[in-house]
Amino acid sequence: MAPALFRKLTVIGIGLIGSSIVRAARAYELVEEITIADRDPAHLERARELGIADRYCLDAGEAVEDADLVIACVPVGAVEQVALAIKDHLKPGAIVSDVGSVKGSVVRQMQPHLPAGVHFIPAHPVAGTEYSGPDAGFAELFQNRWSIVCPFEDSDPAALDRLVGFWAGMGANVECMSAERHDLVLAITSHLPHLIAYNIVGTAADLEKVTEGEIMKFSAGGFRDFTRIAASDPTMWRDVFLHNKDAVLEVLGRFQEDLFALQRQIRWGEGDKLFNLFTRTRAIRKGIVTMGQDAAAPDFGRSGKK
Ligand code: NAP
């Protein structure tokens, strides 16, 4: 059997992503010992009942002592608090990472507090569901999904290799890019779609002329698929928009221009223009399925998953 990549892993925040990481790290034998920290005693107790780690701590500082790899899996707005809690307890040479959906802000919040001699390398698995909490995680979450790692120009190559190896060991495809590029790419592929979903579901809920019963009953016409995204965790997504403000506002501006163009095409009966756009977008969907990033099934290929 190959030796584990890391001796001691500490995960701070035992929600969907944190509990998926500890389950995967154990299932694929990537670490020898796992410690979990969470500020919520009920979440820690649930994690203990599930038996997904070796040690359970309310205190993040105590949890990282002697850890070789520390991953903060808390909402983006809470990472500075985590950095402050752990900074005096990290051992020299430890790798500190995170999974936040925004990277520039995480760097600004965490990096200034972390001591020299610790390798800080942010990351973001582009995988998830609309569920939260310790029960929501599963070991296969990262299989064949992309994980983005955002090293700095002076990041230690050996530490970077180990972190990339950890994500690859959980079944992820890994790509490295700058935090700035990450935030722009994710603004269009993830953040804007969530904003649109929250908006469309909110608009439908506020429409006076269509009843709630009709919305539920006829939701299979397309609305239903937006409701899945709009059921995502409110704390996490509030933080994403507040912390990736510039990139989201940039793509939102472009989106609004394109929406106005569509409005004009409908008003003026420009069917050719509508048809051409819908043909292009259909090809993008086909490309995503061909790349294995979704199944062709109309339920987003998620049947049977929690
Ligand atoms: P989650 O299920 O809500 O879990 C977050 C956990 O962290 C909760 O138990 C929370 O406790 C705890 N926590 C919050 N602040 C803390 C602190 N200061 N110290 C210790 N624990 C703390 O969230 P998640 O979906 O796993 O998301 C975690 C991170 O992953 C976020 O940064 C998110 O952007 C990123 N991410 C999420 C997805 C996704 O699809 N969900 C995908 C990729 C990346 P409380 O409940 O008491 O706040």
Give the C-alpha distances (Å, rounded to integers) separating 172 from 124, 126, 166: 11, 9, 9
Taking the centre of ligand 1 as the mean of its atom positions, its distance from the CA of residue 75, in whole angstroms, is: 4
β-bridge pairing 123-125 and 146-149? antiparallel
Taking the centre of ligand 1 as the mean of its atom positions, its distance from the CA of residue 156, in whole angstroms, is: 27
The phi and psi torsions of 142 (rounded to 5 degrees) equal -95, -5
pLDDT score of 305 more than 50: no
Whole-model pTM: value is 0.93
Which residue, by CA, sits nearest to atom 17 of ligand 1? Answer: 39
Mutate to test the pocket of ligand 1, among 73, 105, 305 (most ligand atoms within 8 A of CB): 73
Q: Is 104 in the pocket of ligand 1 (CB under 6 A)?
A: no
Q: Is 159 in the pocket of ligand 1 (CB under 6 A)?
A: no
pLDDT score recorded for residue 304: 46
Tens digits of residue pLDDT in 83-92: 999 999 999 9
pLDDT score of 253 more than 90: yes
pLDDT band at 212 (very low <50, low <70, confident <90, very high): confident
State the Cα–Cα distance between residues 170 and 28, nearest whole angstrom: 7
Would you say 94 and 118 are in contact if contact means Cβ atoms under 8 Å apart? yes
For the chain, what's the residue count?
A: 306
Tens digits of residue pLDDT in 18-74: 999 999 999 999 999 999 999 999 999 999 999 999 999 999 999 999 999 999 999
Mean pLDDT of all residues in 177-201: 97
Q: How many CB atoms lie within 10 A of CB 146?
A: 16
Taking the centre of ligand 1 as the mean of its atom positions, its distance from the CA of residue 79, in whole angstroms, is: 10
The phi and psi torsions of 58 (rounded to 5 degrees) equal -80, -30
What stretch of H or E contains 11? strand 6-12
Q: Is 22 in the pocket of ligand 1 (CB under 6 A)?
A: no
pLDDT score recorded for residue 25: 98
Looking at 3.40.50.10420, 3.60.40.10, 3.30.465.10, 1.10.3660.10, the CATH number of the domain 181-293 comes to 1.10.3660.10
pLDDT score of 294 more than 90: no
SS3 36: strand
Q: Is 100 in the pocket of ligand 1 (CB under 6 A)?
A: yes
Give me 176's structure tokens. Answer: 């490295």
Which residue, by CA, sits nearest to atom 14 of ligand 1? Answer: 74
In 3D, which of 187, 25, 213, 181 has the Cα closest to residue 107? 181
The DSSP symbol for 191 reads: I
Q: Is 183 in the pocket of ligand 1 (CB under 6 A)?
A: no
Taking the centre of ligand 1 as the mean of its atom positions, its distance from the CA of residue 107, in whole angstroms, is: 17
Q: Angle CA(148)–CA(154)–CA(159) in degrees, nearest 5? A: 60
pLDDT score of 173 more than 90: yes
Closest ligand 1 atom to Cα of 101: 34
Q: Where are the domains of the chain?
A: 6-177, 181-293
pLDDT score recorded for residue 302: 53
Tens digits of residue pLDDT in 95-137: 999 999 999 999 999 999 999 999 999 999 999 998 999 999 9
Would you say 29 and 3 are in contact if contact means Cβ atoms under 8 Å apart? no
Given this structure, which CATH class describes domain 6-177? alpha beta
* 6-177 shares its CATH topology with 181-293: no
Would you say 201 and 227 are in contact if contact means Cβ atoms under 8 Å apart? yes
Q: Which residues have C-beta within 8 Å of that of residue 55, sequence separation ≥ 6?
A: 33, 34, 35, 36, 63
Mutate to test the pocket of ligand 1, among 236, 238, 242, 305 (most ligand atoms within 8 A of CB): 236
pLDDT score of 244 more than 90: yes
Taking the centre of ligand 1 as the mean of its atom positions, its distance from the CA of residue 127, in whole angstroms, is: 14
pLDDT score recorded for residue 1: 65
Q: Is 122 in the pocket of ligand 1 (CB under 6 A)?
A: no
Closest ligand 1 atom to Cα of 125: 43
Q: Angle CA(116)–CA(119)–CA(120) in degrees, nearest 5? A: 100
Tens digits of residue pLDDT in 213-234: 888 888 888 899 999 999 999 9
What stretch of H or E contains 173? strand 173-176
Q: Which amino acid is at 189?
A: T
